[in-house]
Amino acid sequence: MDDFLQLSFSQLHQFHFIRPQWLWSILLLVAVWLLRNQMNKQSHWRNVLPPHLAQVLLNSSESPKNSARRGKVLIGFWLIAAIAMAGPTWQKIEKPVFQVKRASVILLDMSLSMRSTDIKPNRLSRARFKAIDLAEAIGDGEVALVAYAGDAFTISPLTPDARNLTALIPSLTPEIMPEP
């Protein structure tokens, strides 16, 4: 039993509202209710008419019991709507405070000289490994991939998904370039 109470108290500790400013509308409801009651009590006709007639004539054409029931239903709906709009939840979802507006472009040389083996295994393989490492290290912001030989060609336009580039880089070779 104690474990159950500890679990429920820990869950209660996590309870919060996503948009708590909607709870201010409950104060608006209270203010309108107090103002309506004050206006009903301050009617000058209440001083002139006997109480049993004032109750019937001054409220409305419907019975006081129906009017009170309608008011209670309206207050209940208002409270439920205000709490629902406030967004009760037990889970915290991190909201990004800002979005990075940085863009990076990775350039890869795809000329035939990249097949040279002066660096082991060859320049092309080393450039691919470095480009993949760079794409993974960038992380925030947008990244693009451009390959060049005789002219520059966009392989991937700016995208926030760096995994897209890591999938494209291994397939790049000097032979696929339109201009040597």
Count of C-beta atoms within a 10 Å radius of residue 78: 16
**Least trusted range by pLDDT, from 31-35, 49-53, 62-66, 96-100:** 62-66
Q: How far apart are CA 4 and CA 123, in angstroms?
A: 63
The 10s digit of each residue's pLDDT in 68-114 is 788 788 889 989 999 999 988 877 767 666 666 788 999 999 988 88
Residues 116-148: tens digit of each pLDDT: 888 888 889 999 999 999 988 887 788 999 999
Distance between CA atoms of residues 14 and 16, nearest Å: 6
Read off the pLDDT of residues 16-30 as tens digits, 9 standing for 90 and up: 888 889 889 989 888
Q: Output 67 or 159, whichever has higher pLDDT.
A: 159
Q: What torsion do the CA atoms of 118, 119, 120, 124 make, to the nearest 10 degrees? A: -100
Buried residues in 41-57 as b, exposed as e (16+ CB within 10 A): eeeeeeeeeeeeebeee
Closest of 139, 143, 138, 133 to residue 170, by C-alpha: 133
User: Do 158 and 152 form a contact (C-beta atoms < 8 A)?
Assistant: no
42-46, 72-76, 138-142, 153-157, range with the lowest pLDDT: 42-46
pLDDT of residue 130: 92
Triad 122, 126, 130: Cα angle to 5°: 170
* Cα 79 to Cα 170: distance, rounded to the nearest angstrom: 59
What is the reported pLDDT for 128?
Answer: 92
pLDDT of residue 162: 85
Domains of the chain: 2-89 (no CATH), 103-176 (3.40.50.410)
Whole-model pTM: value is: 0.46
